[in-house]
Structure 1
Amino acid sequence: MEEILEILEENSRYTDEQIAVMTGKSLEEVRAAIKEYEEKSVIAGYKTLINWENVGKETVTALIEVKITPQRGVGFDSVAERIYKFDHVKACYLMSSGGFDLMVMVEGKSMKEIASFVAEKLSCQEYVNGTATHFVLKKYKEHGTIFKEEKTDDREAIFI
């Protein structure tokens, strides 16, 4: 049944009927499997990946390295939880690197908004020892999807 998960991960818009055909399973088997995956939080949610640049919406994304002091008994988890609950935070990962502990992805309307978030909310958190902010200049690929710009040729044809 892992095949169903792989299909949904690739494109969550496939219908149960399409998945049944793709896997050779019955419609009832597919629906039961998906329901069970949702109940067990194997399927944690369904998201649509949008290329906001093509809509004209200005957003700024930053990856922030966060160095923290782990807490006795809970390690990094309680600090990470306080951080990932902020609305600006889109992703938060515990890293194995010795240079920093958490990688936090944030989004905002401007660099100034993200800088304010880092200064006023993130870096002043108890147990946060330091941050390093890296602004994303261009997205080429995200969650397996390539953001390809359609190149148009604006040159006029000249016939001789």
Structure 2
Amino acid sequence: MQLNEKELNILHILEQDARASIETISKMIEISEGEVQSMIEKLEAQQILVRYTSIIDWSKVAGHEGVTAMIDVKVTPKRGVGFNEVAQRIYRYKEVQSVYLMSGAYDLSVTVVGHSMNEVARFVSEKLSTIDSVISTTTHFQLKKYKHDGTIFNHDQEDKRIVVSP
């Protein structure tokens, strides 16, 4: 779908701040609030603007840290549906945050969130690896989040590196 410049501007603004008000967006791109509202409704109806989200640093909330794992999955695609069928089976699990078709050594990249490493391990061994098309998995546990969706975490900490100059 081809979008006009104002629609693209609205998308960029909302991508940076999903809480931006209609009034603010209207002033930023210099069109009426009614036009902004109707453009947003159009983008939502066409499922271009899919969801408004918040980014939370759970590491700062005691008892809610959780564990995130990135799992590389090698699968056998099925004739006629390719990778879509197995991807759909995987993304239906509540533990799964995202599924991407990838190029390279593995076919799918799956992001899983659990309360503990054991919970993620059980998901991989009891649910993910038992799917018929799944050949192998490699699990990578996230140790620290530095940047997510363009948001830098812990940027308020002072840079303690020594400045080196010639």
Query: Above 0.5 in TM-score?
Result: yes
Aligned to 1:80: 87
Aligned to 2:148: 142
Alignment of 1:59-138 (within 5 A): 59-97=66-104, 99-138=105-144
User: Following the alignment from structure 2 to structure 1, what is the Cα–Cα distance between the partners of residues 143 and 128?
Assistant: 22
Aligned to 1:157: none
Which letter maps to 1:37? L
How far 1:47 sits from its partner (Å)? 1.0
User: Following the alignment from structure 1 to structure 2, what is the Cα–Cα distance between the partners of residues 101 and 11?
Assistant: 32
Aligned length in residues:
151
Which letter maps to 1:91? S
Aligned to 2:48: 42
Alignment of 1:9-24 (within 5 A): 9-24=15-30
Gaps of 5+ in 1: 153-160
Could you say what secondary structure the match of 2:89 adopts?
helix
TM-score by length of 2: 0.88
User: Following the alignment from structure 1 to structure 2, what is the Cα–Cα distance between the partners of residues 121 and 148?
Assistant: 35
Which letter maps to 1:109? H
User: Following the alignment from structure 1 to structure 2, what is the Cα–Cα distance between the partners of residues 126 and 7?
Assistant: 43
Deviations 1:55-105 (A, max 9, x none): 1212100000000000000000000000011010001000011x1100000
Gaps of 5+ in 2: 1-6, 159-166
TM-score by length of 1: 0.92
Runs of 4+ in 1 over 6 A off after TM superposition: none
